[in-house]
Amino acid sequence: SPLAPLAALDQSGRVLYVGTFGKIAFPALRLGYLVLPEHLVRPFSQRKAVDMRHTEIGVQAVMAQFIAQGHFQRHIRRMRRAALSRRDALLAGWPDDIPGCAAMPKVVAGLHVMVKVDSVAREQALIAKARGVGVEMSPLSGYWLPDSDEPVENRAGLVLGFAAVPEPAIADALNRLRTVWSE
């Protein structure tokens, strides 16, 4: 089961839950949401009236109906099943003998996984080879602030997104990586 959002665990009324339907449904939707503690609803509503005068009422009404009729919850369940299946394909097929890479970690939630690499130089070499065979991944070192106190070599890793990649494409990409990384 998915992890509970921080807002669901909040007992002191200090957490704001912010999201966008564009990430869940489709990017062109451009509709977000904000779940507030009761004591903040009025001040936020008043501020919204000043800041956002051109709200898409029609889009909001359609989305509200979509949610009320249960379509949104069904969509979420389908997307969750797809992400789990894709995650399982990645975990099952990931090569476990990549020099300079840690083992694939256990992944219980999320849409990305991070595999530690022993150096930034090795990280860059693995990513360059992956790009050479058309496999996209991000360097963990790119997520760090330049003035971080963390030693540079501890910043290396591979960030793999799997939610938008169908299982056959994951298997194909892993086969290409196995080949190019073993050269």
pTM of the model: 0.77
User: What confidence category does residue 2 fall into, taking pLDDT thresholds of 50, 70 and 90?
Assistant: low
CA distances from 115 to 14, 44, 161 (A): 33, 40, 11
| The token pair that represents 145 in the structure block | 């602030």
State the pLDDT at residue 171: 97
Q: Residue ranges of the domains in the chain? A: 6-69, 96-181
pLDDT in tens, 83-140: 999 999 999 999 988 999 999 998 888 899 999 999 999 999 999 999 999 999 999 9
User: What confidence category does residue 1 fall into, taking pLDDT thresholds of 50, 70 and 90?
Assistant: low
| The token pair that represents 119 in the structure block | 């150096």
pLDDT higher than threshold 90 for residue 48: no
Question: What CA–CA distance (Å, rounded) separates 160 from 137?
Answer: 5
- Output 57 or 55, whichever has higher pLDDT: 57
Domain range 96-181, its CATH number among 3.90.1010.10, 3.10.450.50, 3.90.1150.10, 3.40.50.300: 3.90.1150.10
